[in-house]
Amino acid sequence: MKVYIDGKFYDEQDAKISVFDHGLLYGDGIFEGIRAYNGRVFKLKEHVERLYYSAKAILLTIPFTRAEVMAAVLETCRVNNVRDGYIRLIVTRGVGTLGLNPNRCKQPSIIVIAGKIQLYPEEMYKNGMEIVTVATTRNLVNAVNPAIKSLNYLNNILAKIEANIAGVEEAIMLNSDGFVAECTGDNIFMVKGKQLLTPPLSAGALYGITRGVVMDLGRDAGLQVGEPNLTRYDFFNADECFLTGTGAELIPVVKIDGRQIGTGQPGGVTHDLIERYQSLTKSTGEPI
Ligand code: PXG
């Protein structure tokens, strides 16, 4: 594997950054997780746009244009012969000193890794997964806003560890008001009759690219798509539930906190949206 760092490609074993990079010292940086399907990078423009939004929020100036970042992603796929895979795009604050001050970091670093990802076992896509609500709440929007896809994922990692301790793969995180925000690395949806509902961004959800695509696909399928504040009770009494994310794609949820959701099997609307999503990922995207 060849890894892109600041305009050059390095063999995997030589792809290294400084221990003084504030991305490592303080989690001071941002990232994107992107997928390639069938020789095209899915929603590349949207991912790069979100990267620039994250950069804006943390006052980090990316030393490239959007077009140059997109070109670096595509080039990394080409160099690695990735046609179907997963791309990690990272921008760190760069090399600084042992002190918080980001002004000591003169040059941000940009890294692109193109490889593979399998977030959940295949069997869960077929039979659905069980999730639990955990005690770690979503970060406050006026702290590190969870809309920023920053290198500070420790809050989500703690929630993931709690999920693992409970014997499941993913966790619902509530916000400080007790409303459902999302999961540790996935957005969450519920189906009730003809309604397709997902928590609003103001509840502490990430502006998920897959979330946006699935909302559009839901409208195409004739569903009423809404973003109200939702509680655990709403999810317990949903007909169907599923998670979305670049890594996870769409994965059905059949049990939450011990409550069976709907029939206890992945539902018809979920299946229909999975099919629509798969046909979109196969046929659209930036050619590699
Ligand atoms: N919420 C959070 C907190 C995320 O980190 C999503 C929702 C889904 O967003 P997208 O834009 O991907 O639909 C994410 C994205 C991983 C991994 O390595 C995590 C994500 C994406 C890809 C891989 O666990 N999270």
In eight-state DSSP terms, residue 148 is S
Residue 196 lies in a domain: yes
Residues 110 and 152 in one domain: no
48-61 average pLDDT score: 98
Residues 221 and 140 in one domain: yes
Residues 47 and 158 in one domain: no
Residue 227 lies in a domain: yes
d(CA 107, CA 60): 10
Element containing residue 275 per DSSP (H, E): helix 268-283
Our answer to whether residue 149 is catalytic in this structure is yes
Residues 110 and 132 in one domain: no
Residues 80 and 163 in one domain: no
**Two tokens at 153?**
């994922």
61-79 average pLDDT score: 97
What residues have CB less than 8 Å from 8, skipping those under 6 apart? none
Range of the domain at 21: 2-115
Task: Indicate if the pLDDT at residue 20 is higher than 90.
Answer: yes
Distance between Cα 116 and ligand 1 center (Å) = 15
70-82 average pLDDT score: 97
Task: Indicate if the pLDDT at residue 10 is higher than 90.
Answer: yes
**Two tokens at 235?**
């999810």
Confidence category of residue 223, pLDDT binned at 50, 70, 90: very high
Q: Say what the pTM is.
A: 0.97
Domain final residue, candidates 100, 115, 130: 115
Distance between Cα 207 and ligand 1 center (Å) = 10
Residues 128 and 212 in one domain: yes
| CATH code, domain carrying 101 | 3.30.470.10
Task: Indicate if the pLDDT at residue 119 is higher than 90.
Answer: no
Confidence category of residue 117, pLDDT binned at 50, 70, 90: confident
Residues 74 and 106 in one domain: yes
Distance between Cα 198 and ligand 1 center (Å) = 15
Task: Indicate if the pLDDT at residue 262 is higher than 90.
Answer: yes
> Hey, whose CA ends up nearest to atom 5 of ligand 1?
185
Residue 288 lies in a domain: no
Task: Indicate if the pLDDT at residue 115 is higher than 90.
Answer: yes
| CATH code, domain carrying 161 | 3.20.10.10
Residue 59 lies in a domain: yes
Per the structure, the count of domains in the chain is 2
pLDDT of residue 87: 98
pLDDT of residue 211: 98
Residue 95 lies in a domain: yes
Compute how many other C-beta atoms are within 10 angstroms of the C-beta atom of residue 174: 21
111-120 average pLDDT score: 91
Residues 55 and 147 in one domain: no
- By most ligand atoms within 8 Å of CB, the mutation choice from 41, 189, 246, 280 for ligand 1 is 246
Cβ(27)–Cβ(144) below 8 Å: no
pLDDT of residue 118: 82
Confidence category of residue 34, pLDDT binned at 50, 70, 90: very high
227-251 average pLDDT score: 98
Residues 81 and 209 in one domain: no
Residues 172 and 82 in one domain: no
Confidence category of residue 9, pLDDT binned at 50, 70, 90: very high
Mean pLDDT of the chain: 97
Domain final residue, candidates 115, 134, 157: 115
- pLDDT, one tens digit per residue, over 177-193 is 999 999 999 999 999 99
